[in-house]
């Protein structure tokens, strides 16, 4: 490349082997007027091709013309796996990502930053109630973001009641009313803004976005079915499946026809009114919590236990705290049928097991099912690519190699909620998606660590945790080999309005011997997610009870309670403090 006085300076490569064989250097010729303004005239040293070009076009350029000088550099192909030539197998793309949620988008953007040519396919099938949404996946549209906004709306309602003892003067707090339409409009406006920003970000990062339903024709061919039923075929070296999941409906009469799920609640065009939540996982309890906080009559139907997979002492306390808020629970109960009445309300017939066994019925304005989710793999035509689902094909989810996230097919990978027995959390999908891209196109050997991932359940009194539950620690290490430190505490801001502190509680689960390595931390109280995040990093670094006790807390905060833990369950001592500073 001829030396010039141009400000254009291609980044030098240390070795010829580092340059991709399809790399092009593009240099914009600057017109003479611009050059005079800069005080420098660009005069490249003529080469045979440049001289020929000059003789044909003339030595003086028009000020309106801006031809490009393209120099093709061909070097020896890299022997690393960071980037393979696209024309090696006549591929159109280095990577096609099926699914435009958090994990898929993170993978796609990271891959492009590492030099890959990437396309993202995303298509949202409407819910049975007709709900649709834009790019961004579950978290942005019908998950974390709208859930947190509605949780915040319910907390603000509680703050109104707390504010009078702090000196805020207004009419009777009981007269304050919430407007559902205003809330849903605000939430949906925010979501649409995120959809737009996400699309612009893909464009700016040179990720090709295709609004089509993706499925396999073979392991290296993905078909995008567009809205007008036309199909577009994409040949690709690698495929990442990031289709996520959708809520399940029970197989009972009237469920699909008349009931909603978390796909619908955040854009429900009418106030939910008296609501039945079927399911006691974190989605069901979170929805029950914010609906009650917004002033609606709420009942939760529980078939077995609350928050399966979480620490059961904490789960029981969450349930009790929600009962204290006025939420009703029907335990060991399952719905049998849902029938729409002439007035539009829903008659639910259900049965209860155990001591109070029998059938009963009740009427609700809204019935929301939160009984679990299923992976969106049914339309992928996985058999065309040779991909087998988990549990010998019995599951709708995908089993992957923990290091590479590869399925049973060499060039097909998976990430996010579609994975079998992996945490269904947005940050997990994002982190894993980036790792896949770095392994494929950056020569990285890093792996995803699914252990000790922190999470928070946004119930009225929030629950944050990281590491092992007490039950899991006992199963892994033996009950005699662990020690549980615990305490009740009193948030300072609860004193003036005299809010209940009955269920403000925390505990650490640790090994009994030595410095007592911490295996898990659990916190029930305000701002639980903010509290647990920092301790999650400490746990990953090998936190011990000795270190925790030697850490000076910030006073007065609820997070400092972890640094003050001194009472063990095995001691039998009362873990209730006398004051906030005791």
Are residues 537 and 570 in contact, defined by beta-carbon separation less than 8 angstroms? no
Closest Cα partner for 212 from 227, 199, 222? 227
What are the angstrom distances between the C-alpha of 479 and each of 25, 122, 253?
Answer: 65, 48, 46
User: For 149, how many CA atoms within 13 A lie in the half-sphere containing its CB?
Assistant: 21
| Cα distance between residue 303 and residue 323, in whole Å | 17
The burial class, CB within 10 Å (0-12 / 13-18 / 19+), for 162 is: middle
Phi and psi angles of residue 80, each rounded to the nearest 5 degrees, phi first: -80, 170
555 has catalytic annotation: yes
Burial bucket for residue 189 (CB in 10 Å: 0-12, 13-18, 19+): exposed
Tell me the three state secondary structure of residue 220. Answer: coil
**Do residues 63 and 32 lie in contact, with contact meaning Cβ atoms separated by under 8 Å?**
yes
Whether 45 and 2 have beta carbons less than 8 Å apart is answered as yes
Number of residues assigned to the chain: 582
User: What is the Cα–Cα distance from 220 to 391, expressed in whole angstroms?
Assistant: 24
Q: Is 392 exposed, middle or buried (0-12, 13-18, 19+ CB in 10 A)?
A: exposed
Strand, helix or coil for residue 463: strand
- For 146-157, the DSSP string reads HHHHHHHHHHHH
**Can you give 431-447 as a three-state secondary structure string?**
HHHHHHHHHHHCCCCCC
CB 424 within 8 Å of CB 376: no
Residues whose CB falls within 8 Å of the CB of residue 539, separated by 6 or more in sequence, listed in order: 452, 466, 467, 518, 520, 521
Binding residues for NAD(+): 279-286, 372
Question: Residues marked as binding?
Answer: 148, 214, 279-286, 372, 417
Distance between start and end Cα atoms, the chain? 75
**Cα-based distances in Å from 186 to 154, 158, 267, 300:** 14, 20, 10, 27
C-beta of residue 264 within 8 angstroms of C-beta of residue 288? no
Instruction: List phi, psi (to 5°) of 42.
Output: -85, 115
Burial of 576 (0-12, 13-18, 19+ CB in 10 A): middle
- Residue 35, token pair as written in the block: 């050059």
Give CA separation, 438 vs 75, 140, 309, 433, in Å: 23, 24, 31, 9
Beta bridge partners of 568: 485
Q: What is the DSSP letter of 527?
A: T
Binding residues for FAD: 148, 214, 417
Task: Single out the catalytic residue among 26, 330, 477, 555.
Answer: 555
Catalytic amino acids? Answer: 555
């Amino acid at each position: 490349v001829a030396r010039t006085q141009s400000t254009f300076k291609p980044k030098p490569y240390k070795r010829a082997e580092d340059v991709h064989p399809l790399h092009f250097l593009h240099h914009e010729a600057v017109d003479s007027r611009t050059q005079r303004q800069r005080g420098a005239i660009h005069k490249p040293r003529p080469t045979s091709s440049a001289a020929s070009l000059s003789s044909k076009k003339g030595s003086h350029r028009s000020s309106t013309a801006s031809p490009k000088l393209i120099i093709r550099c061909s070097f020896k192909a890299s022997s690393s796996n960071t980037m393979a030539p696209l024309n090696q197998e006549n591929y159109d793309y280095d990577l096609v990502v099926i699914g435009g949620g958090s994990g898929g988008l993170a993978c796609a953007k990271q891959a492009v930053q590492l030099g890959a040519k990437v396309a993202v396919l995303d298509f949202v099938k409407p819910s049975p109630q007709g709900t649709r949404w834009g790019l961004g996946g579950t978290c942005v549209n019908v998950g974390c973001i709208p859930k947190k906004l509605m949780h915040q709306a319910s907390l603000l309602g509680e703050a109104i009641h707390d504010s009078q003892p702090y000196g805020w003067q207004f009419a009777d707090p009981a007269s304050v009313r919430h407007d559902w339409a205003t809330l849903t409009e605000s939430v949906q406006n925010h979501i649409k803004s995120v959809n737009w920003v996400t699309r612009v970000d893909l464009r700016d990062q040179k990720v090709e976005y295709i609004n089509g339903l993706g499925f396999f024709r073979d392991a290296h061919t993905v078909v995008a079915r567009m809205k007008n039923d036309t199909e577009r075929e994409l040949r690709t070296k690698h495929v990442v499946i990031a289709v996520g999941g959708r809520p399940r409906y029970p197989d009972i009469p009237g469920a699909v026809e008349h009931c909603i799920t978390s796909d619908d609640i955040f854009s429900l065009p009418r106030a939910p009114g008296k609501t039945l939540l079927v399911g006691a996982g974190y989605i069901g309890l979170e929805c029950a919590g914010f609906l009650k906080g917004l002033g609606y009559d709420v009942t939760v139907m529980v078939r077995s236990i609350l928050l399966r997979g979480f620490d059961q002492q904490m789960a029981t306390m969450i349930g009790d705290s929600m009962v204290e808020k006025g939420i009703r629970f029907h335990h060991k109960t399952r719905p049998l049928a849902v029938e729409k009445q002439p007035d539009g309300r829903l008659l639910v017939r259900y049965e209860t097991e155990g001591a109070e066994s029998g059938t009963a019925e009740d009427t609700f304005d809204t019935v929301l099912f939160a009984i679990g989710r299923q992976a969106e793999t049914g339309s992928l035509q996985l058999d065309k690519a040779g991909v087998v689902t988990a549990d010998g094909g019995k599951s709708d989810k995908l089993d992957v190699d923990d290091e590479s996230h590869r399925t049973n097919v060499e060039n097909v990978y998976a990430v996010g909620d579609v994975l079998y027995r992996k945490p269904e959390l947005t940050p997990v999908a994002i982190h894993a998606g980036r790792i896949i891209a770095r392994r494929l196109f950056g020569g990285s050997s890093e792996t995803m660590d699914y252990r000790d991932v922190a999470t928070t359940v946004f119930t009225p009194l929030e629950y944050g945790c990281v590491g092992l539950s007490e039950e899991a620690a006992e199963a892994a290490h033996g009950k005699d080999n662990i020690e549980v430190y615990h305490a009740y505490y009193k948030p300072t801001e609860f004193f003036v309005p005299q809010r209940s502190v009955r269920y403000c509680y925390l505990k650490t689960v640790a090994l009994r011997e030595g410095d007592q390595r911490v295996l898990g931390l659990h916190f029930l109280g305000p701002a639980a997610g903010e509290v647990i995040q920092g301790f999650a990093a400490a746990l990953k670094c090998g936190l011990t009870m000795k270190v925790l006790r030697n850490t000076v807390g910030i006073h007065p905060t609820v997070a400092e309670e972890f640094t003050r833990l001194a009472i063990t369950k095995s001691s039998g001592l009362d873990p209730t403090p006398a004051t906030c500073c005791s």
